[in-house]
Amino acid sequence: MTRRRVVITGLGVVSPNGVGLKAFRESLKAGRSGISWHEELKKLNFAAQIGGVPPLEEEEVLKVIPESDYHKLSEAMVYAVLAAVECARDSGVRVDLLKGYNQSPVQWDAGAFIGCGIGGMDTIFNELGPTLSEAEQAEPGRGTLPMGTNIVPKVMGSSVSVAVGKFLGLGAQVSANSSACNTGTEAIFEGFKQIQLGYAESMYVGGAEGTHYGIWAGFDAMRDVLCSRYNEAPEKGSQPLGAGACGFVPSGGAGVLRLESLDSARKRGARILCELVSAYCNSGGQRDGGSMTFPNQEGVIRCIRKVLQDSGVDPGRITLINGHLTSTTADPREVDSWIKALGLPLDCFPAIQSTKSMIGHSLGAAGALESVAVVDQIANGYVHPSINSENVHPQIQSIAASIPRQMRQLELDYVIKASFGFGDVNGCLLFKRWES
């Protein structure tokens, strides 16, 4: 079967260090952290009291989303819709939801694959839980009625994707995936396949995650999984590759990319940002050191190598790795996996960065936000710094020179990006600079 070429023609982002592509890019270049301390987490006696929350006011949301629809969206859905609308506009589509969207024609060749790691926890806590707690006092059959009819669409697994499908009028497959921290990357892989195999000409892909403390609580309960030692210095909390890495910093947001067949992009004269050359997802089977919460290294290496094999690209041509790198004790092991998978001499090891150093770990949105960062770096020829890595972790001193501490202007030919998630699942993407 002939596989069609897939390019990226639009980006949209809602991130803790910038809402909108312009603000996000400026923050990435400046090495600006979006992590802050939250009094509420202290009140709830969380060990880790820092997190990354998109700096977004309701007024800004209502400039994009009609108020009557806004009430029907969970926090993650709002982020996904904002990012998708920006992405559509960035790719050259005119979208103005406030002027009415119901009458716009269905885009039969365009679909969406946007995932969510945990889902509408804000809706569950604020609407569903309180109603249920009062339900036992109500008459039979009436107990659940006060929650209204918008609950299901706000908590169902596909909520973020179908919200985007609704506003953009998408007529190809509109679905969602969930594979923990690999969700965003996996969604890109799913959209990639849809276009490669000719099921769609264009796919909005990515991930979204809310910031409700209910999402973060389970990780806090695990201790040492979240960063609890930097409550006094939140911006220093996310230290991927750093000597002081002591757990990840939770965050939320959304990243959406528009994947498009090369034919379609050329036909409509779209601006092409880069090419997605190859993508793959697998699992380590939770064997040989792999578990529900830790990856089997062989699975990781196989995933990266499969992407390289499919693309036929020599690892020596890769100029940048955007790692999963969460600021946990797993970072040195991930670096070891990259070294083994690429098989390059250490003095030829490509630059390696972690976007999470600035935005924290946004779970289901992470792979998507980081892929937006990758595509933006390729399209604009720069490498963002991996902050808080001045003191490199003792176990990865061998690649210390590959970690960018300052923003660099650099033409990036090939950039490889990976995500790894709970359940021992892996995802890897290979992007290539577009030369018109």
Partner 1 sequence: MGPAGAPVKQWKGPAPNCYNISFPHQRSGGDMAFKRRETVVEAVDLNTITPEDAEKRIIAGVKKYATNEPNWVKADANTPFLGHIIGMGIESSNLADITMSIERQFLTKKTRRVPVSEGSSEFRLEDGELGKLRILDGQDATAATPGLSIKMLMDHGHMPRNEAYLGKVVSFAYIAAIGDGYRMNDALRKMIAKVEKLPGTEREEAAANLRSMVEQAKNYEAVLSDAAKLAAARQKTFENDKAAYEALSKELAVVTDKLKGLSASNDSAQLSQLRSEEAEIRTRLKMSAAKLRVSQEVASAAGRRTPVEEAKVQEIRRLLSDSIQAASAPFANAV
The encoded tokens of residue 158 equal 């596909």
Q: Which is nearer to partner 1, 78 or 318 (CB)?
A: 78
58 binds partner 1 (CB under 8 A): yes
Residue 100's contacts (CB-CB under 8 Å, 6 or more residues apart) are: none
- Indicate which single residue of 66, 92, 244, 289 sits in contact with partner 1 (rule: CB under 8 A): 66
39 sits near partner 1 (criterion: CB under 8 A): yes
Number of residues written out for the chain:
436
**351: phi then psi, degrees, rounded to nearest 5:** -60, 145
**Binding residue (CB under 8 A) for partner 1 from 1, 2, 45, 57:** 57
User: Would you count residue 69 as binding partner 1 (CB under 8 A)?
Assistant: yes
Q: How far is the CB of 339 from partner 1 (least distance, A)?
A: 38
| Least distance from partner 1 to the Cβ atom of residue 21, Å | 18
In this structure, are residues 256 and 116 in contact, taking their beta carbons and an 8 Å threshold? Answer: no
**Cα separation, 386 vs 26, whole angstroms:** 14
Ramachandran class of 399: left when φ > 0, alpha when ψ lies in -120 to 50, beta otherwise = alpha
Instruction: Select the span of 119-127, 305-313, 328-336, 388-396 touching partner 1 (CB under 8 A).
Output: 119-127
Q: Which of 6, 7, 21, 53 binds partner 1 (CB under 8 A)?
A: 53
Complex with partner 1: residue 84 or 303, whichever CB lies closer? 84
Two tokens, residue 197: 């195999």
Among 5, 47, 60, 282, binds partner 1 (CB under 8 A): 60
> Counting contacts by CB under 8 A, is residue 411 touching partner 1?
no
Nearer to partner 1, 100 or 269 (CB): 100
| Number of other residues whose CB lies within 10 A of the CB of residue 179 | 26
> Of the two residues 220 and 260, which places its CB atom closer to partner 1 in the complex?
220
Query: According to the binding rule CB under 8 A, does residue 71 interact with partner 1?
Result: yes
Give the list of residues 6+ apart from residue 66 with CB closer than 8 angstroms, or none: 97, 98
Report residue 157 as tokens.
Answer: 């697994």
Whole-number minimum distance, CB 74 to partner 1, in Å? 11
203 exposed, middle or buried (CB, 10 Å; 0-12, 13-18, 19+)?
buried
Q: Is 348 in the site for partner 1 (CB under 8 A)?
A: no
51 contributes a contact to partner 1 by CB under 8 A: yes
Among 61, 225, 254, 341, binds partner 1 (CB under 8 A): 61
Burial readout 270-301 (b: 16 or more C-beta within 10 A, e: otherwise): bebbbbbbbbbbbbbebeeebeeebbbbbbbb
Cα(302)–Cα(287) distance, rounded to whole angstroms?
A: 14
Give helix 183-196 / helix 366-380 axis angle, nearest 10°. Answer: 60
Pattern of binders to partner 1 over 210-239, x per CB under 8 A? xxxxx-------------------------
The one among 26, 108, 132, 263 contacting partner 1 by CB under 8 A:
132
Site for partner 1 (CB under 8 A): how many residues?
A: 41
Which token pair is 219?
């990780």
Contact status: 45 vs partner 1 (CB under 8 A): no
| 364 part of the interface to partner 1, by CB under 8 A | no
Site membership for partner 1, residue 43 (CB under 8 A): yes
Any contact of residue 255 with partner 1 (CB under 8 A)? no
Count Cβ neighbours within 10 Å for each residue of 209-224 and write b for 16 or more, e otherwise.
bbbbbebbeebbeeee
- CA nearest to 273, candidates 288, 252, 286, 259: 259
Which position among 12, 54, 111, 323 is part of the footprint of partner 1 (CB under 8 A)? 54
Among 26, 40, 232, 288, binds partner 1 (CB under 8 A): 40
Residue 2 binds to partner 1 (criterion: CB under 8 A): no
* Cα atoms in the Cβ-side hemisphere of radius 13 Å centred on 328: 22
Quick note: the x/- pattern for partner 1 over 186-215, rule CB under 8 A, is ------------------------xxxxx-
Query: What three-state secondary structure class fits 64?
Result: coil
Q: Is 23 helix (H, G, I), strand (E, B) or coil?
A: helix
Mark the segment that binds partner 1 (CB under 8 A) among 49-57, 171-179, 311-319, 339-347. 49-57
- Residue 16 or 385: the one with the smaller Cβ distance to partner 1 is 16
Closer residue to partner 1, CB minimum distance, 149 or 436: 149
For 269: left if phi > 0, alpha if psi spans -120 to 50, otherwise beta; the answer is left
Query: Do residues 91 and 204 lie in contact, with contact meaning Cβ atoms separated by under 8 Å?
Result: no
- Interface contacts to partner 1, rule CB under 8 A: 36, 38-41, 43, 51, 53-54, 56-58, 60-61, 66-69, 71, 75, 78, 100, 102, 122, 125-126, 129-130, 132-133, 145-146, 148-150, 210-214, 252
